[in-house]
Structure 1
Amino acid sequence: MNKLTNTLNEMIYTDTCDNGLKIVVWHKPDFATTACLFATPYGSLDSAQKTETGELLQFPEGIAHFLEHKLFESEEGDVMNEYASMGANVNAFTSYNETVYYFDTCDENIERPLNLLLDFVQDLRISEESVEKEKGIINQELNMYLEMPDSRLIFETLKSLYKNHPIKNDIGGTCDSVNRTTKEDLMKCYALNYHPAKMTLIAVTPVEPNKIIQLIKENQAKKTFPTYSKITREFELEPLEVAKPFKTINMDVVNQKTCYGFKFNVMNQTDEQRVKTDWAFRFIFESHFTSMNPSYQTWITEHKISPYFYYETDFSRDYALALFFDEGVDEKAFGAFVQEEINTLKENGLSPSALIQLKNRSLGETLSLFNQPDEITVQYFRHQLTGVNLFETIDLIKNLTVEDCNEIIRKMDFSNFSETIIKSAK
């Protein structure tokens, strides 16, 4: 067991099982709640993968999400009911880059829920009949999201921005891809992506770290796994230009919904440089496109934007984008507004006083996570995936300068964009 040193003197311990499973125990002796997360860096973007031998495997879209559904099945009973009987909460989610299973409990005796978490995630037992039954459940879920205007707006915008990259696909796939998924597909994906050597278990707990680590190692020692074989995500080459510059969708909405999205070239950056770019964009956009900007209320008064205006940015190893949303605005005027303000932002940059305020706010929000066991587990794992851990990110935020932020925004190419509108079908 190793203790991780960090600038905030948090008590974090790591270890690795003989089978390669990584263990992180964040010790919180004054807490009453334990939160545990068991995760694999396998998400919806991993529909195409390459093995160590060079074999290229193509799976139906949404298969990572399908696996999440199936792992909650147990021949001994319903996993959620088992956790409820222990006074614990359990759930799971699939994103672009990860599949996560987690529970939390106030019971000091966490042996049963911890063993159950390890056991049900590491025991995929499915039949042809159960796979076919699950397809109907997942298709209902997909159709439900397609009927939700906000979800549909994001989904259609990503399809317009990207031609080949799998981010254009819904995390759950499509009804067609779900219907094409076979038991053999699920078993193969599971074997490739749920090996302990690829996974991480994170516990935030008042229980002594040695006890947690011993419980996990004892559980894993009773199980046999095949030799681990590395697998990598594969992508088709993504062109710089967008797939479709303009799209209109008719739905049952009262106010027209608009998304104006920018697609950025994925630059050849180190993990630290990419995370730095991400935070620079967050700070610059927040300084300009929120009420921090004195002009923000004027934009609303002059109906350039509505109170529903917001934006999102996302910079990953594989894609980078910025999305602007609003309701009840003219799409041409909204696009012109966004482009004009981007140019203003590139010209004026970020002020030193705004950066200090934003850095302090972000650091405060990050530190507040340390009082939320379930949030700690998720954020710790996600920072691990970026290649820059949580405490390195805190240091990066502290050291970010106005010059860094302004240089990053001025060099960014905003010439590739697409606009998606959802309007009333009437």
Structure 2
Amino acid sequence: MSTQLTPILSAFWDVERSWTLETYEQHEGYDGLRAALKMDPTDLVAAAKESGLRGRGGAGFPTGMKWGFLPPPDGGPRYLVVNADESEPGTCKDTPLMMAAPHFLIEGMIITSLAIDCHHAFIYVRGEIVHVYRRLLRAVEEAYAAGYLGKDILGTGFDLDITVHAGAGAYICGEETALLDSLEGRRGQPRLKPPFPAVAGLYARPTVVNNVESIASVPSIVLHGADWFAGMGTEKSQGFGLFSLSGHVERPGQYEAPLGITLRELIDMAGGMRGGKKLKFWTPGGSSTPIFTDQHLDVPLDFESVAAEGSMLGTRALQIFDESVSVVRAVSRWIDFYAHESCGKCTPCREGTFWLKQILERLEAGRGHEGDIEKLDDICDNILGRSFCALGDGAVSPVTSGIKYFREEFEQGMHTPWHELFPAERNTLFAKESQPA
């Protein structure tokens, strides 16, 4: 095996009471903050740029460049908002990070706030994960008590408050502008851009919106240096990341490794495929990314290599499906989710996901109509690039890639229900009962 795990954010998750400030301080906790307080804010932004840190929330946009987009200070407030609304099917890296080591995020937020001259930062966390919300509240309390938050942090004169806000469970609020509207008390729907959040974000003020893992990676970069971080990963996708393996592997879980590791290596680390079965298909970055098959086992999991093969690295949510799973059924379940979570603001997404759902349910039940597959492709063409935000684009990804690699299974849906083609799947991955044929 050529690539080794790099436990950094996950280094002490197995320590008793790993989430406490005491444990965190025993593992270099807040040493990065102390170093950052002695640095000029422009040097912090430069360090983020030089490290090559790219957004860990899906898009992979350079983090330091995003910080640098803020206009010059004008005397008014500037905000940092952490997007912790992790809600896409299969995505599960931020939740365990916030549960096991929330102070990585708190320290990263303080350093980032120093860099962008922010004095009030927000964590927007998904409302259903009440246990994470409570843990974050406790971590913030500990940071205030220790002098890492509040007025005159560590005697430097820098002030910062952090507010933990629980959303109401709308997937659309993972989109940064919908998140900002929700945070302001409005209905969570995406805003028209421009203006972008860096210019007019929260309360119409300059705002940086970053993912949990992106911000949590900042303390180690400041403490160990940009070159240390850039020395991991690949030439254009530097650093480490959490790879979430779920589905049909022997040991599903979080595997922290340099970008560029392959799925073959990760499956080996996870003990192989469950029950010794053959890999059939998988998602490189969650359900909103085009699926891959066993022919993509050796594709380096970095932004450029995955994109070159026609998909996206996304959130590195690697959902693994073996040969017992119906592709049509899996895609149908995903579309159920996207149709339900569409905010309804734009017609292509609102109507398109509804019709995708109807057709896929027919094919799943073995009652497909002549021309259904062509109709699926046509609907996807009318959603892709035409919806108001990326939800529509993400919804069509599993459909178009599923047809591309497994068209014969969609054709079988014209006359044979899924449970006759894949009888072993009933008690494996999905719990929803099939519709009668």
Asked if these proteins are the same fold (TM beyond 0.5), I'd say no
Which of the pair has the greater relative contact order for Cα pairs under 8 Å at 6+ separation? 1
Higher strand share: 1
TM-score normalised per structure 1: 0.30
